[in-house]
């Protein structure tokens, strides 16, 4: 599998990143182990998680995904320097006043807990899950900088940040000589383009940030399992309905047609290939909950769309 640089850093990540929100939610530990092992064998060296995964699931206190990853690495004797671990901080992990947010108190508490769950002494990419309007950005960034200086974190990233907040963070880091965000994890896919493309794309390009989009398959819509008039039961079917439109169903037909000319590539493989054709994108974050879904996702590695194919998909999903 081809490897790519992570922003301006020397970290080399695989074309696809293994997202793990489903671990401990829609995939139990045994299936999660199988998915991690198969993806590692296929060349995926980049694993993304978060401390809150998946606290919303019944009986899940949060941190389960991190525990599963740590146990998998330990049980399979995976060399630590062969895997790039990314996790996040911000979400509520308890009922106390310092159990959420981006304050100094919470970040210091959260990093120690994540290190313990992941069975490691450093995080390659530590990300703020979304911004905290109640904490001065200087406090957040100075705390993250201290973690970098201590060797507990190698690089910093953020997710779900609007362009103005991301720019403010970059300028604050420059002004105070602090470690800066080198990576953005936005919500970005063929049917959800404006949020990233309107302003964030230009910021990432100007400042040399890596981009690792989550939900590249739009919660399953871009797999083709949701078609006009069809009934599909899924853990995410409620949120996917926002993509149900005549135009988006035409998009699925076009993606299917392109796939047929590419050796019967699946709709999901075409969706991932569309992201990989963008030079700003380092690694789309996939989130398979079964081995069959993983095998399908792996088929996107190395799949390149022609300029004409990309233009056809761009025109069908243009938001401007």
Q: Is the confidence at residue 234, as pLDDT, over 60?
A: no
pLDDT score of 214 more than 80: yes
Per residue in 87-124, pLDDT tens? Answer: 999 999 999 989 999 999 999 999 999 999 999 999 99
Q: Return phi, psi of residue 290, to 5°.
A: -140, 160
Q: What is the pLDDT of residues 62-85, one digit of tens each?
A: 999 999 999 999 999 999 999 999
C-alpha 159: how far from its chain's center? 9
Domains of the chain: 3-225+279-289 (3.20.20.100)
Active site residue ranges: 53
Q: Which of the two residues, 218 and 236, has the higher pLDDT score?
A: 218
Which has the closest alpha carbon to 46: 186, 210, 270, 265? 210
CA 259 vs CA 16, 150, 185, 300: distances in Å: 19, 48, 27, 11
The rounded distance, in Å, linking the Cα atoms of 233 and 46 is 30
Helices (H) and strands (E) in the chain, counts: 12, 10
Percentages (nearest 5) of helix, strand, coil residues in the chain = 45, 15, 40
What's the number of CA atoms in the CB half-sphere (13 Å) around residue 304? 5
> What count of other Cβ atoms lies within 10 Å of the Cβ of residue 278?
15
* Nearest-5° Cα angle at 50, 29 to 206: 135
Q: Tell me which DSSP letter residue 128 carries.
A: E
3: pLDDT strictly greater than 90: no
Q: Measured in whole angstroms, how far is the alpha carbon of residue 274 from the centre of its chain?
A: 16
């Amino acid at each position: 599998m081809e490897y790519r640089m992570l922003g301006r850093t020397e970290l080399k990540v695989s074309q696809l990143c293994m997202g793990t929100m489903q671990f401990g939610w829609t995939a139990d530990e045994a299936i999660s182990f199988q998915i991690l092992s198969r993806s590692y064998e296929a060349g995926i060296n980049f694993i993304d998680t978060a401390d809150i995964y998946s606290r919303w699931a019944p009986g899940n206190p949060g941190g389960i995904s991190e525990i599963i990853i740590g146990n998998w690495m330990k049980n399979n004797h995976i060399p630590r320097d062969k895997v790039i671990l990314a996790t996040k901080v911000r979400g509520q992990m308890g009922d106390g006043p310092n159990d959420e947010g981006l304050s100094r108190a919470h970040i210091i508490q959260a990093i120690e807990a994540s290190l313990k769950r992941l069975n490691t002494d450093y995080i390659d990419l530590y990300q703020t899950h979304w911004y905290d309007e109640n904490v001065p950005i200087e406090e957040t960034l100075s705390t993250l900088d201290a973690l970098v200086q201590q060797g507990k974190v190698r690089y910093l990233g953020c997710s779900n940040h609007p362009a103005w907040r991301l720019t403010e963070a970059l300028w604050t880091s420059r002004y105070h000589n602090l470690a800066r965000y080198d990576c953005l994890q936005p919500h970005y896919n063929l049917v959800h383009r404006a949020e990233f493309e309107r302003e964030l794309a230009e910021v990432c390009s100007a400042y040399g940030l890596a981009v690792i989009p989550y939900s590249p398959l739009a919660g399953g819509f871009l797999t083709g399992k949701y078609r006009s008039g069809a009934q599909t039961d899924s853990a995410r079917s409620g949120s996917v309905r926002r993509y149900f439109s005549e135009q988006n169903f035409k998009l699925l037909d076009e993606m299917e047609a392109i796939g047929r000319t590419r050796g019967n590539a699946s709709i999901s493989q075409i969706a991932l290939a569309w992201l990989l054709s963008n030079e700003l994108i380092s690694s789309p974050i996939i989130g398979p909950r079964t081995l069959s879904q993983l095998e399908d996702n792996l088929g996107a590695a190395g799949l390149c769309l022609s300029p004409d194919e990309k233009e056809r998909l761009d025109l069908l999903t243009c938001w401007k």
